[in-house]
Structure 1
Amino acid sequence: MSAAELGRAGEQLAATYLERCGFMVLERNVHLRTGEIDIVALEGSTLTFIEVKTRRTLVTGVPQAAVTPTKLRRLRTLVGTYLMDSSPPHRDIRIDVVAVLAHADGTYAIEHLRGVC
């Protein structure tokens, strides 16, 4: 499985996980001028922007470690752009990270970090 395929599989697993947790997935792979938001979802009345990180091994660290302060700044900018362009009717917003670790035996582990910034 290529890195791109692994990323797509991780995003699908994350979307399924979020739906099972009661989120309503509104959009996936939202392309904006300066980047992409992996998942936009509603949890109750909170509009949630979710960054998905998927890894096969822990050689380079846990998946969520890839969400660096620089990446968080970029995500905040993307969320601002999304809000300006879309003007959604939600007052509460949040940025989450879903980390997916794909094991060689086909199983996976998911960790959901809420309100990372």
Structure 2
Amino acid sequence: MNSSVLSAHDAVVILSNAPDMLLAKRIAHVLVEEQLAACVNLGAPGLSMYMWQGELEGTEEVPMTIKTTGARAQAVMERLMALHPYEVPEVLVLPVLGGSAGYLEWLRAQVQV
């Protein structure tokens, strides 16, 4: 993540997935309980299609949308990688360009270091 683009207090959304709902819930609980994320939304399981080691794979996965700040993004990524069973889990950090002032204040308050 390029810190010159985002300030530490800017909201970010981290996209990831888990191989099943049980692990997705565990990851969500850990991230929120450890105040790394303000909120984690778990979506309905869906089919992911991708190439892995030269083979086309189709795997059911649970999408996770993680809301945090630029200051906590690296810690979220490290914790997520430690909890995740995949060799190369999806972890994408996206900047938030705007939103409800009240929600963004709440988000920042939940993950203050």
TM-score (norm 1): 0.30
**Where is the strand percentage greater, Structure 1 or Structure 2?**
1
TM-score (norm 2): 0.31
